[in-house]
């Protein structure tokens, strides 16, 4: 294994500490070591300012959009301010969009899939790179056409255009903003332009992108999760044009979404409340607002430099270890600091277990909720895929 280059080769490092960074965890040799989370693509710990804002808000916690008391008024105001901040963060100021606060990206995409009123023969174009959250909601309701990736796990705008043009006109293009497996960031702006040129609306799954890069301003629909943005308090977001949510019944039916109910009648209220039945997660919204304020304060430029630095060190470091094989893009400029690797001949579960038990390093192993992508990145043959399939069924 060759040594890593010295750290001073890096630029202006961003020193951000997260709640729990100093926590010790037990290792198999009986020592306690500082836990090192290398699992932030799955979930990030809270920023201290997020935890502080939640703590500060807790005494004022009350029902949102329901109570007449002072605390309810204040909680409602904080919730609505969070909605405005989320909308501005997503570049939606001045657009007639609706910002819906939900649980996470998965719920947001299921919500949209329901709201688009897809018919079984409608086609959604999506890609083999997607997280299951951007595959399964479409699989349940519509036909799919997929953009394939090459061996390095990427595709180009032309590949997307070919899939858009390759059969019945699609109702939607649903595409990731960044891969949770390789950190690859597809050229979203060009892809969106190609879809719009054909009159096709676009959903960008911003789960990985939202904490790292500005969300694509021209996407028609956006989905992202607070728990991947240093605000792990259970709030996620769906944003889309008001027209999508103005008519018809919402994804969730219940209190808060209505103007009038009789036993055989319902008059739905206007969005966004129409789309947020049940008591809203005001703590999650306040936390996400705080995270957005902090990301904005730090600024995309500093975050980008820090990400590039980490991505270089992460991939460079892994590549230098004998026997470690990186999956997918290795030197794609602008990729997020996310990497997946295999150690030939060693089970992924064992690698992850040893990193945890011996070194207090938390990683994720397996297929990262992106089975189709992993099969391609691993370059498995059809018989190998069939064996894997049979093993899972057994």
Stretch that binds ligand PLP, among 69-77, 129-137, 188-196, 326-334 (CB under 6 A): 129-137
Tell me the pairing of strands 202-205 and 221-225: parallel
Interface mask (CB under 6 A) for ligand PLP, residues 42-71, using x and -? Answer: x-----------------------------
Binding status of residue 176 toward ligand PLP by CB under 6 A: yes
Stretch that binds ligand PLP, among 89-97, 203-211, 284-292, 304-312 (CB under 6 A): 203-211
- What are the helix (H) ranges across 235-281? 242-246
8 Å CB contact between 38 and 223: no
Task: Exactly one of 102, 149, 367, 369 is catalytic; name it.
Answer: 369
DSSP notation for 282-342: HHHHHHHHHHHHHHHHH-HHHHHHHHHHHHHHHHHHHHTSTTEEE-S-SS-TT--S---EE
Identify which of residues 212 and 315 has a Cβ nearer to ligand PLP in the complex. Answer: 212
**What is the SS3 assignment for 192?**
helix
Q: Which of residues 242-261 bind ligand PLP (CB under 6 A)?
A: none
Total site size for ligand PLP, rule CB under 6 A: 16
8 Å CB contact between 235 and 287: yes
102 is catalytic: no
Identify which of residues 175 and 194 has a Cβ nearer to ligand PLP in the complex. Answer: 175
Binding status of residue 213 toward ligand PLP by CB under 6 A: no
Q: At its nearest, how many Å lie between ligand PLP and the CB of residue 49?
A: 21
Q: At its nearest, how many Å lie between ligand PLP and the CB of residue 393?
A: 25
Interface mask (CB under 6 A) for ligand PLP, residues 356-375, using x and -? Answer: -------------x------
- What are the helix (H) ranges across the chain? 48-57, 70-89, 105-115, 136-141, 157-165, 188-197, 242-246, 282-298, 300-319, 348-359, 371-377, 382-393
Identify which of residues 106 and 335 has a Cβ nearer to ligand PLP in the complex. Answer: 106
Binding status of residue 182 toward ligand PLP by CB under 6 A: no
Q: At its nearest, how many Å lie between ligand PLP and the CB of residue 15?
A: 26
Binding status of residue 106 toward ligand PLP by CB under 6 A: yes
Alpha carbon distances (Å) from 314 to 106, 153, 183, 328, 340? 28, 18, 11, 14, 10
Distance separating alpha carbons of residues 300 and 309, to the nearest angstrom:
14
Residues engaged in binding ligand PLP (CB under 6 A):
42, 104-106, 131, 133-134, 176, 180, 205, 207-208, 225, 227, 236, 369
Known catalytic residues are 369
């Amino acid at each position: 294994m060759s040594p890593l280059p010295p750290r001073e080769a890096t630029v202006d490092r961003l020193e951000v500490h997260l709640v729990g960074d100093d926590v010790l965890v037990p290792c198999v040799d009986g020592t306690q070591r500082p836990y090192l989370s290398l699992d932030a693509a799955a979930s990030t710990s809270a920023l201290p300012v997020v935890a502080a804002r939640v703590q500060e808000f807790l005494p004022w916690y009350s029902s949102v959009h329901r109570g007449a008391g002072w605390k309810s008024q204040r909680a409602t105001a904080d919730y609505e301010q969070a909605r405005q901040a989320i909308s501005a963060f997503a570049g939606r100021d001045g657009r007639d969009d609706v910002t819906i606060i939900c649980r996470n990206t998965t719920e947001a995409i299921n919500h949209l899939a329901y709201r688009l009123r897809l018919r079984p023969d409608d086609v959604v174009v999506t890609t083999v790179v997607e997280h299951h959250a951007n595959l399964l909601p479409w699989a349940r309701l519509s036909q799919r056409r997929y953009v394939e990736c090459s061996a390095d796990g990427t595709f180009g705008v032309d590949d997307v255009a070919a899939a858009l043009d390759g059969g019945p006109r699609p109702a939607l293009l649903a595409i990731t903003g960044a891969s949770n497996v390789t950190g690859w960031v597809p050229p979203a702006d060009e892809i969106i332009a190609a879809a719009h040129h054909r009159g096709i609306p676009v959903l960008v799954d911003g789960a990985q992108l939202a904490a790292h890069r500005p969300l694509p301003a021209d996407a028609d629909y956006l989905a992202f999760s607070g728990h991947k943005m240093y605000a792990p308090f259970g709030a996620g977001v769906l944003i889309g044009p008001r027209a999508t949510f103005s008519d018809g019944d919402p994804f969730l039916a219940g209190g808060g979404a209505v103007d009038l109910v009789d036993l055989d009648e319902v008059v739905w209220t206007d969005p966004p409340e129409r789309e947020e039945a049940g008591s809203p997660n005001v703590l999650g919204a306040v936390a996400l607002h705080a995270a957005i304020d902090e990301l904005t304060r730090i600024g995309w430029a500093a975050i980008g430099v820090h990400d590039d630095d980490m991505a270089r060190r992460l991939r460079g470091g892994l590549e230098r270890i004998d026997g470690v094989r990186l999956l997918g893009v290795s030197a794609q400029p602008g990729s997020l600091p996310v990497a997946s690797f295999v150690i030939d001949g060693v089970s992924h579960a064992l690698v992850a277990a040893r990193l945890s038990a011996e070194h207090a390093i938390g990683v994720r192993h397996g297929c990262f909720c992106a089975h189709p992508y992993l099969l391609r990145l691993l370059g498995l043959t059809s018989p190998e895929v069939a064996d894997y399939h049979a093993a899972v069924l057994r």
